[in-house]
Amino acid sequence: MLLWFRNDLRIQDNPALAYALENGAKSAIFFVSKKQWRIHHWSDIKIDFILRHAELLKSQLETLGIALNIVTADTFIDQVNYLTEHFAGQTLVVNEELELNERLRDSQLVDAGFNLVSFESDVIVPKGKVLNKSGEMFKVFTPFKRAWLSFVRQNGFEFIDSPKIHEDFSHLAPSEGSTAPKSSSKWPLANEFTQDVLPNFMRFKLAGYADSRDIPSVKGTSGISAYLAIGAISPRYLLVLLLNQHPDLLSEQPANCFSWLNELIWREFYRHLLFHFPDLIKGGDFNEKYKQLPWPNDKAKLDAWQQGKTGYPIVDAAMNQLNQTGWMHNRLRMIVASFLTKHLLVDWRLGEQYFAKRLIDYDFSANNGGWQWSAGTGCDAQPYFRIFNPLTQSQKFDPTGKFIRKYLPELAGVPDKYIHFPHEYLKREGQSNIYLPALVEHKTAREEALAFYKQYS
Ligand SMILES: Cc1cc2nc3c(=O)[nH]c(=O)nc-3n(C[C@H](O)[C@H](O)[C@H](O)COP(=O)(O)OP(=O)(O)OC[C@H]3O[C@@H](n4cnc5c(N)ncnc54)[C@H](O)[C@@H]3O)c2cc1C
């Protein structure tokens, strides 16, 4: 029996590991498949984060008597060949992966005679269990959420605590190091995150989450997405923590801490959606009526957006945050995605791919869901005629310009009143050279977007 780690780099709440331990497995494998990951557009920072967690896992497994072999196999084909060559006929114990190429690889292995014992480890409520009255997947979030909560109330959920290990892993704490976005060293390893950062968030920030989660200059969100994306922390563990703190959460839903669970249910929504609509991975518009949209895809506009040079401070600061740190605040993801699609009329798929190549927390289902929501082509999406005004978004969510000044230091001296659109002020001060003119004018861009989408609406 071989335990095969893929997108589940953890020992806690890992059903495949629990099964392998029960059945006396002694060896495990993890493939480093950089070529394949690049085909899937994964960023350098995400890859670095994975490799660090594979090393952590290796030392944790050692204490459980399992030897983790970390093997380079460039592509999925190389993985299949390696397994066939070295482990033919054996049972492979895995946690399922949801995405298409991953599933195709697994069926190739079954065809090649492997017995795959697989488990589900990426969601709280099993996929396929939250359905509407006709037995189909919901296409709107709120009824999905109600049914999801009712399922958990009635059935509970599984959780497998960590196998006992006693080693001190402090020697694996992140080293001080390069700030280059290729390195993930600023992100603590999952064991440290669950000991320090997460309890700190639960204790001090959860109560204020509903208010602070939309303010990019405040560290009001958990920062857990990167760990969920590579399976280093289990989503079921988060519900365990929430219920320890708020035993009535599922029935009473107190506003202040329910909003965090609400976001975790959004994550589940998009994963269940991909399970029911696996072809989403092929890049189509969820709402088929938009598949004919003739996106102009002006390359200069796409470049300006990617480089944070649109002349809209909130958009540019957000893109600088992404380019410099490998992460972007959710409110800003919504603003820049709306701006790229609706103001610049660039195909959402190009934005989706750029995010994949930059984000440490890149996850196909959440990213695709977020982009299609923003572009108006998705399931329960923002309608095409709701177009974020970058100026009012900036005034509302970064009122004093604190976030803008952090990522656009050239605007540090601009007074709060002008920070959201500083061009007139800079002109008056004779400083027009320090910031770019706006790439498009909001009112005109809005009208063009309305006309563009209307053709197919
Ligand atoms: C255009 C766009 C692209 C996105 N791409 C990704 C992506 O590649 N990977 C990713 O994990 N999230 C993505 N998101 C969702 C969201 O922005 C991030 O999950 C969030 O910013 C992560 O920060 P956090 O962990 O501090 O979040 P918290 O606010 O602490 O939320 C806790 C968790 O809930 C989930 N969650 C929160 N908001 C959403 C959401 N809108 N949709 C789905 N799940 C959510 C995430 O797992 C998150 O870690 C995207 C959103 C948009 C609008």
> Per residue in 71-111, pLDDT tens?
999 999 999 999 999 999 999 999 999 999 999 999 999 99
Mutation choice for ligand 1 from 40, 197, 349, 361, CB with most ligand atoms inside 8 A: 361
Q: Is 158 helix (H, G, I), strand (E, B) or coil?
A: coil
Active site residue 95: no
pTM > 0.75: yes or no: yes
* Between 447 and 292, residue with greater pLDDT: 447
Give the Cα separation of 303 and 92 in Å (integer).
45
Residues with CB under 6 A from ligand 1: 213, 221-225, 228-229, 263-264, 266-267, 270, 330, 333-334, 337, 355, 359, 361-363, 366-367, 369-371, 374
Active site residue 42: no
Nearest of 456, 454, 449, 457 to residue 345 by alpha carbon: 449
Domains in the chain (CATH in brackets) are: 2-119 (3.40.50.620), 141-160+187-276 (1.25.40.80), 288-454 (1.10.579.10)
- Helix axes of 348-358 and 299-306: crossing angle, nearest 10 degrees: 30
Mutation choice for ligand 1 from 225, 273, 305, CB with most ligand atoms inside 8 A: 225
Q: How confident is the model at residue 165 (pLDDT cuts 50, 70, 90)?
A: low
Q: Write out the two tokens for 102.
A: 């991953």
Sign of CA dihedral 62, 4, 369, 273: negative
Cα 279 to middle of ligand 1, angstroms: 22
> Per residue in 373-395, pLDDT tens?
999 999 999 999 999 999 999 99
Q: Whose CA is nearest to atom 51 of ligand 1?
A: 370
Instruction: Give, in order, the Cα–Cα distances in Å from 315 to each of 50, 211, 387, 389.
Output: 29, 22, 14, 11
Residue 431 CB neighbours (<10 A): 15
Nearest of 6, 58, 5, 10 to residue 194 by alpha carbon: 10
Ligand 1 atom showing the smallest separation from residue 337 Cα: 1
Q: Whose CA is nearest to atom 46 of ligand 1?
A: 225
